[in-house]
Amino acid sequence: MRDVIYKHALLNAVEYGGKAEVKAVIGKVLAEEPSLKSDISQVVAEVKKIVDDVNSQTLEEQRNLLGKLGVRLEEKKIVETGLPELPNAKGKVVMRLAPYPSGPLHIGNARMAILNDEYVKRYKGRLLLVFDDTIGSEEKFIIPEAYKMITDDLKWLGVKYHKIVYKSDRIKIFYKLAEDLIKKNIAYVCECDAKTLRDNRANGVVCKHREQTSERNTEKWKKMLNGRYKEGKVTLRLKTDMQHPNPAFRDRVLFRVAERRHPRVGKRYKVWPMLEFSWAVDDHMLGVTHILRGKDLVIEDMMEEFIWNAMGWNKPEILHYGILNLEGVRLSKTESRKLIERKVYSGWDDARTWSLKSLEKRGVQPHAIRNFIINMGLSLADVKMPVEILYADNRKLIDSKANRYFAVLNPVKISVKNSKPRTVEAQLHPDFPGRGRRRIHVDTNAIYVEEEDYRNFKGREVGFMNLFSAKLDKNSVVTSENVKYDIQKIHWVSGPNAKIKVVMPDGKVVKGVAEPSIKKLKVGSLVQFPRIGFARVNKQGRETVLYFTHK
């Protein structure tokens, strides 16, 4: 691993003037050795260490080392990161997104959406948005506003679908196909209670209802549809193999009774299909050619293939990918919903939900998410990625957009005795002088610095950025009217100033002060507070509310 990293670090450094970039090197390493994705944390740590080593060398030394490795820059052949070709992609490619409307999309769901979108665009195919809105468990239920949340999220991501389909509009189609399975003697009505059903499956015991005639099953099926059975008293099950090595695949449930109201169709239906049955039917009837799903959904694969074979239908291609986890990030719509209901979270856009709405509110760009997802590819390995990888992509996109403003989040007030009030100027962005400068009034009797800086540098000479150098104390003394280059630099805010509130990714709210020009910014503006990080303006009023993006 170290040799591969060292090679790419040197190549990246030589190609870009002697300075390699961690994110670029990680991408190249994972492209050449996809198996390393399973231990991404170790890879990231090793890349950072090697990049520091390479960057400490001169450009000439880097070129010489490349030569010793037998690599010349103009001849290097590195596998690019990205997505593999779809198998058997002949004719029109049709793919589908199948979100369950229990809340908005989160960063994990974005993978499903973006991968499908990328492939459909590559093959000039069609993408269907199929809402999996059958009645689910009592724990996981449909939220009416989630339909629009999801379409809004897809629009924000830049995912273009060609048609919307609602499973709740297709119940009668599912009923017809269920009846066909009953007539083929492949499905039967089971009146076992839930515990008996579970125990029989676990022990491979054949249910006493399994040998009913198709006529008897049809009769009971119609009773189900006519509301003659209460919830929990009956199911329609598929005749698989009760000795199958995977107990979860033994006589799976296809339909069950659910008496709860559905947000779109009310109580029109009381018998609802399980998701894998509706997938098997719709993937065929909607002409889906390729299905992308997580490798953890192996039972769903087995169910679909069993039903396709039973009905004599052609099989779409199924492609899998491993589970992607972000370090320190917990993704659960059900858990988020409960915390919203308990007023622990402020709403679906609370930073702690990691919903796309929360990321948008924080200033994370959709293209950064897309780059992050595509670079992960379709590896079957489960990976745990540092969230810094996503932030690195985002930083590249927003650094040029975000003007600079001073802010202090934990202010300590000092005064400067031997200096007079004045006005200083600072560039809005150091890389774009054409954007202009901002004027900052300085009241030398009221200058605010970070509590941490005051604690760490008290009694020492520091440079107040764009202002002067001074010995830091409650009553500071100017040591130079210019900022010295060889001493610690700190940011500051003076009076008059603007009150700000910064909401952090962990939900913590930090209050502070900023230069008054922050009040003129529009909602949605991205800023960078020097030495603090990026943030997005979300509300203007008596105080400016910003959501912290990242450093």
Residue whose tokens read 């809004």:
152
One-letter amino acid for residue 122 of the chain: R
SS (H, E, C) 466-535: CCEEEECCCEEEEEECCCCCCCCEECCEECCCEEEEEECCCCCEEEEEECHHHHHCCCCCEEEECCCEEE
Closest to 187 measured CA to CA, from 118, 287, 107, 280: 280
Residue whose tokens read 């399975």:
181
- The whole-number pLDDT of residue 482 equals 92
Neighbours of 477 (CB within 10 A): 13
- Confidence bin at 282 (pLDDT 50/70/90): very high
Model confidence over 250-270: pLDDT tens digits? 999 999 999 999 999 999 999
The lowest-confidence range among 19-23, 342-346, 421-425 is 19-23
- The whole-number pLDDT of residue 288 equals 97
Whole-angstrom Cα distance, residue 462 to residue 544?
Answer: 29
**Contacts of 42 by beta carbon, 8 Å cutoff, 6+ apart:** none
Model confidence over 138-161: pLDDT tens digits? 777 899 999 999 999 999 999 999
- The whole-number pLDDT of residue 44 equals 87
Model confidence over 181-235: pLDDT tens digits? 999 999 999 999 889 998 998 999 999 999 999 999 999 999 999 999 999 999 9
Q: Are 236 and 254 in contact (CB under 8 A)?
A: yes
The CA distances from residue 299 to 52, 240, 251, in Å, are: 46, 12, 12
Q: Are 488 and 463 in contact (CB under 8 A)?
A: yes
371-396 mean pLDDT: 87
- The whole-number pLDDT of residue 296 equals 86
For residues 139 and 172, the model is more confident at 172
Average pLDDT, the chain: 91
481-501 mean pLDDT: 94
**Contacts of 211 by beta carbon, 8 Å cutoff, 6+ apart:** none
- Confidence bin at 71 (pLDDT 50/70/90): low
Tokens of residue 53, six digits? 């080593």
- Confidence bin at 483 (pLDDT 50/70/90): very high
Q: Is residue 242 scored above 60 in pLDDT?
A: yes
- The whole-number pLDDT of residue 77 equals 33
- The whole-number pLDDT of residue 69 equals 66
477-493 mean pLDDT: 94
Model confidence over 403-453: pLDDT tens digits? 999 999 999 999 998 998 899 999 999 999 999 999 999 999 999 999 999
**Contacts of 237 by beta carbon, 8 Å cutoff, 6+ apart:** 187, 188, 189, 190, 207, 251, 252, 253, 254
Model confidence over 74-86: pLDDT tens digits? 433 333 346 889 9
- The whole-number pLDDT of residue 476 equals 95
Q: DSSP assignment, residue 248?
A: G
H helices present in 33-83, as ranges: 40-55, 59-68
Residues paired with 300 in a beta bridge: none
One-letter amino acid for residue 344 of the chain: V
- The whole-number pLDDT of residue 82 equals 64
Residues paired with 383 in a beta bridge: 324
Whole-angstrom Cα distance, residue 280 to residue 275?
Answer: 9
- Confidence bin at 62 (pLDDT 50/70/90): confident
The lowest-confidence range among 132-141, 282-291, 424-433 is 132-141
Q: Which residues of 207-224 are buried (b: 16+ CB within 10 A; e: fewer)?
A: bebeebebeebeebbeeb
For residues 16 and 480, the model is more confident at 480
- The whole-number pLDDT of residue 80 equals 37
- The whole-number pLDDT of residue 437 equals 95
Strands 526-529 vs 533-539: parallel, antiparallel or unpaired:
antiparallel
Percentage of the residues of the chain whose pLDDT score is greater than 90: 73
The CA distances from residue 439 to 423, 432, 435, 535, in Å, are: 7, 17, 13, 21
Strands 126-131 vs 94-97: parallel, antiparallel or unpaired:
parallel
Q: Residue 209, CB half-sphere, CA atoms under 13 Å: how many? A: 25
- The whole-number pLDDT of residue 73 equals 53
pTM for the whole structure: 0.82
